[in-house]
Amino acid sequence: MKLYAPSTIRDIKERHGFKLSKSLGQNFLTDKNIIDRIIEGAGIGADDLVIEIGPGIGVITNEAAERAKRVIAVEIDKNLIPILKETLADKDNVEIVNQDILKTDVNRLIEDCRNSEDKLSGVKIIGNLPYYITTPIIMKLLEEGVNADSITVMMQKEVADRIKAAPGSKAYGALSVAVQYYCRVEAVVNVPKEVFVPQPKVDSTVLKLAMREEKPVELKDREVFFRCVKAGFGQRRKTLLNSLMGVEGVTKEGVREALLAAGIDPARRAETLTLEEFADLSNEVYSRL
């Protein structure tokens, strides 16, 4: 049985009386090639733990279970749990967790697994993300310092474009700076909307976010760095001199001094600043708070 075939999805829906939930971002993958690209992109090894976000009916889960030592799949929809139990019945290395990923202590899941398995190598996070919370999921994992090697996930192409954007481009913004601070970003594959059931309105991209062992820049204060990034892009049409006035506790003179000390022309706009320049600038702002 091809689990990913549209006819299988139809059959499962009928037998279980399952109704797809639009509000939970349920667009199921029907293309084996794309499933393989996610698995290969993640680089899953035989001693790895895989954490999957939103398994749906288990198409990616099934393949991951063939490659990994253990798979923990976190699914919010309780109506999918009996279906997953059925579709993954022959996989004894899979654990299904019926939870909201945004409320899940992922590091605890990883730690518990490390304690119960004697030989666990890497940790790979994968998934075809529910699009309505793509950014919150990624930022939650990064901000809480998830103990994984990488996050290889499908998302709306437009969000992927923003994440991987370079300075000077239209898509470059606070999300690009934030994710690139924590990770090396690699595009795995572009995915047309036709390979999902039901078909979404937009195309998708799989990105691999490989966790950096060492951060690319030195920050005196991470919070001030992100406050500067947020203020800069919050009013991206304004010059940095004006937009950074939005950083709490700093005066216009302080902003000007910080910009000049960092070697940045106060008339520039946030979208032209590299990660290194944001770091230098925030370190100078921090000294003037």
The contact set with ligand SAM (CB under 6 A) reads 24-29, 53-56, 59-60, 74-77, 80, 100-102, 128, 130, 133
Q: What's the min distance (Å) between Cβ of 4 and ligand SAM?
A: 7
Rg over alpha carbons for the chain, rounded to the nearest Å, is 21
The sign of the dihedral angle between the CA atoms of 62, 64, 67, 72 is negative
**Among residues 51 and 224, whose Cβ is nearest to ligand SAM?**
51
Q: What's the min distance (Å) between Cβ of 10 and ligand SAM?
A: 14
Q: What's the min distance (Å) between Cβ of 107 and ligand SAM?
A: 16
Provide the terminal-to-terminal Cα distance of the chain, rounded to the nearest Å.
63
Amino acid sitting at position 202 = V
**Among residues 91 and 238, whose Cβ is nearest to ligand SAM?**
91
**Among residues 97 and 210, whose Cβ is nearest to ligand SAM?**
97
**Among residues 202 and 260, whose Cβ is nearest to ligand SAM?**
202
Q: Tokens 């950083």 sit at which residue?
A: 247
Q: Of 164, 148, 144, which is closest to residue 156 (Cα–Cα)?
A: 164
Strand partners, 28: 197
Q: What's the min distance (Å) between Cβ of 271 and ligand SAM?
A: 30
Size of the chain, expressed as the number of residues it contains: 289
**Among residues 83 and 178, whose Cβ is nearest to ligand SAM?**
83
Q: What's the min distance (Å) between Cβ of 160 and ligand SAM?
A: 14
Q: What's the min distance (Å) between Cβ of 149 and ligand SAM?
A: 20
| Dihedrals phi, psi of 144, to nearest 5 degrees | -85, 5
**Among residues 73 and 250, whose Cβ is nearest to ligand SAM?**
73
- Report d(CA 45, CA 49) in Å as an integer: 9
**Among residues 102 and 260, whose Cβ is nearest to ligand SAM?**
102
Q: What are the contacts of 9-12 at 24+ separation with CB within 8 A?
A: 9/57, 9/197, 12/57, 12/83, 12/86, 12/87
Q: Which residue is nearest to ligand SAM (CB)?
A: 54
Q: What's the min distance (Å) between Cβ of 26 and ligand SAM?
A: 5
Count each helix (H run) and each strand (E run) in the chain, helices first. Answer: 12, 9
| Dihedrals phi, psi of 123, to nearest 5 degrees | -125, 120
Give the other-Cβ count within 10 Å of 168's Cβ: 11
